[in-house]
A and B are shown apart, each in its own frame.
Chain A
Amino acid sequence: MLLQSHDLTKSFGGLVAVNQLSLKVEKGTILGIIGPNGSGKTTFFNLITGMLPSDSGKVIFNGQEITKLRPHRIARLGVGRTFQIPAPFSKMTVLENVMVSAFLHTSSMKTAKKKAEEVLKKVDLDEKADFQVLNVTLEDRKRLELARALAIEPILLLLDEVMSGLTPVEVKSAINLIKQMHRQGLTIIVVEHVMDVILSLCDRVAVLDYRRKIAEDTPQKIVNHPEVIRAYLGERYRARG
């Protein structure tokens, strides 16, 4: 088991954002997390990466408890994440953005640059390496998010709605990209609203509703799960399963 959360809970004042969430991710698999807006998906990522302190519960990554670790320590252990709304270092070039990640493993400018160029090639962004981030499109910013996360050489990758705002063609190429990274041995958790993405990518799917996990199963079974259909999918998806 690469990642496990036990009864993870987080509330903001009186509002419970994540309620006793227990999830397991097997090494080498892709877990999808779906659920309506406000069901605690992004908060769950923020708890795993240490961006938010949890109220109670535990996170175990690669056999080590990481619940109380600071974010940069968790990143160093091999947890990479992308932000739902791209959060680039705006006044730097695309290449420099990725170099910041590469400095995690090297303090040589040359090595970092080479590493960053490699990663940019992987996400098909190498031609825009010298662009200022301010001058690239949303799709490219999403690719940059991915490149920055990949350049820390993660074992586990958390993707927070990387598809939102992309055109169908762009979504297709993004899916291929994620599949390719998966084949290279990455374990991935995907938060996504686009069901087709979840169906074509994930080995297992967890469904959150009202801050709780209401179901966890294979994609085929999830789309026929009565409570999931009621809470999130709607009748449309039942026939397809």
Chain B
Amino acid sequence: MPLKNGHTQPHTSASSWRWALLGLALLIAFLLPWPLSPLWIRIATEVIMWAGLAQSWNIIGGYTGYLSFGHGAFFGVGAYMTGIVMLHLGWPFALGILISGIAAALMAVIIGYPTLRLRGAYFAIATWAFGEMIRQIATILEITGGAFGMQLPAYLNLPFFYYLFLLVTGLTYLTTYLLLERSPFGYKLLAIREHEEAAEMVGVDTVIIKIKAFALSAFFPGVLGGIYAYWVTYIHPDSVLGAQLTDFMVVMAFLGGIGSLWGPFLGAVVVQLVNRVLWLVWGEGTFYLVIIGAAICAVVLFIPSGIIGLLQSRIFLPGTAWKEIRKKVKW
């Protein structure tokens, strides 16, 4: 994996071991719905959806280094678009999610063109404002059902949605692998993240590359939002355009390790599972946010490269992880 931090030499044994692990994980993912109860299928479906969302955010936030705090808007636009296409136009669901993805990507191009010139906090604020704007628009428009939201035709088939989310999330990881880890496009993105002026000096058209990355990172949330709308059948501005959507994408990517292929996946699994288990134990509430907040603080302080960084630096062996932490903290 040439783009990973730390180890640069490809080891044949390590990489074949990785492929075996990936095959095993896919097999488990395919067979998962059989032994699970409907509740746990729902939870597994959520985890997979979030894994896709976190990876989408990672494309612009991790690989390109532009922290988007309006990414939930692409999910919401996707959800509403599928709703509108199915409800008002009567077109099929498959067409709906495709239109959702394209609409989200187009929106990213329009928003990205002026805002991607801003760096750091300014880009974050601009995208956050954009997200809020979309939520307000959805709240007042008639076609979106305003504050009451939209009721889609119900299709109660849990495994169908599980596999569909699995497919789309799988595609986000495949796209990230092929386009960002294994192609000139990915190298140019990293160059932009590491030193934008230097990238321009060697002929990288930073404006176009950044817009492409932003559109790509918006396309998948659009599609996932569309599937989500049909899955839960009822959407309203707070459920698909709330600030928490963006927050969780960011948190998952950071916890798992930004700018890496599998970091967002690990982050999504950990955060969403913890989230749901706490919900099962304590019921509806917001206490889980406190725990997740504490976990984020711990990550930022002790393992800034996320769970994946911990795994890669091989300090995650019994005893050594503890020693690392002891070294970094003056008690």
Contacts and interface: CB of A to CB of B under 8 A. Distances in A.
Interface of A: 49, 51, 70-72, 75-76, 80-81, 83, 87-93, 96-97, 99-101, 103-104, 107, 109, 112, 130, 132, 148-149, 151-152
B197 A151 contact: no
Nearest to A129: B8
Contact of A49 (B5, B191, B201, B204): B201
Contacts of B5: 91, 132
Interface string B173-184: 000000000111
Given A96-B187, A103-B188, A152 B202 contact: yes
A101 B6 CA distance: 22
A71 to B, nearest CB: 4
Given A88-B195, A101-B203, 18 more contacts: A49-B201, A71-B201, A72-B205, A83-B198, A87-B195, A89-B199, A91-B190, A91-B193, A96-B187, A100-B191, A100-B199, A103-B188, A103-B204, A107-B184, A109-B184, A132-B6, A132-B8, A148-B202
B164 interface: no
B11 to A, nearest CB: 13
22 contacts: A51-B197, A70-B200, A71-B200, A72-B200, A72-B204, A72-B206, A75-B200, A87-B195, A90-B195, A91-B193, A92-B191, A93-B2, A96-B187, A100-B187, A100-B188, A100-B191, A101-B203, A103-B204, A130-B9, A132-B8, A148-B198, A152-B203
B329 to A, nearest CB: 23
Interface string B198-217: 11111111110000000000
Contacts of A90: 194-195
Nearest to B9: A130
Contacts of B168: none
B259 to A, nearest CB: 8
A75 B184 contact: no
A137 B184 CA distance: 27
B299 interface: no
A87 B200 contact: no
Nearest to A77: B203
A96 B199 CA distance: 12
B125 interface: no
A92 B181 CA distance: 12
B3 A92 contact: yes
A100 B195 contact: no
A81 B200 CA distance: 11
Contacts of A71: 197, 200-201
A81 B184 contact: no
A151 B202 CA distance: 8
A151 B201 CA distance: 11
Nearest to A87: B198
B197 A149 contact: no
A149 B201 CA distance: 8
B184 A112 contact: yes
Nearest to B200: A71
Given A92-B190, A130-B8, A104 B200 contact: no
A161 to B, nearest CB: 16
Contacts of B8: 93, 130, 132
Contact of B202 (A51, A70, A104, A107): A104
Contact of A51 (B183, B187, B201): B201
B187 A99 contact: yes
Interface in B1-31: 2-3, 5-6, 8-9
Given A96-B3, A103-B188, A75 B203 contact: yes
B263 to A, nearest CB: 14
A109 B204 contact: no
A83 B199 CA distance: 12
A94 B188 CA distance: 14
B185 to A, nearest CB: 9
A190 B195 CA distance: 23
Nearest to B192: A89
A49 B3 CA distance: 29
Nearest to A90: B194
Nearest to B6: A132
A51 B200 contact: yes
Contacts of A75: 200-203
A132 to B, nearest CB: 7
A101 B200 contact: no
A225 B193 CA distance: 46
- The 10 residue pairs across chains A and B that have the minimum distance between CB atoms: A89-B194, A75-B203, A71-B200, A104-B203, A101-B202, A87-B198, A103-B184, A100-B191, A87-B195, A72-B205
Contacts of B182: 109
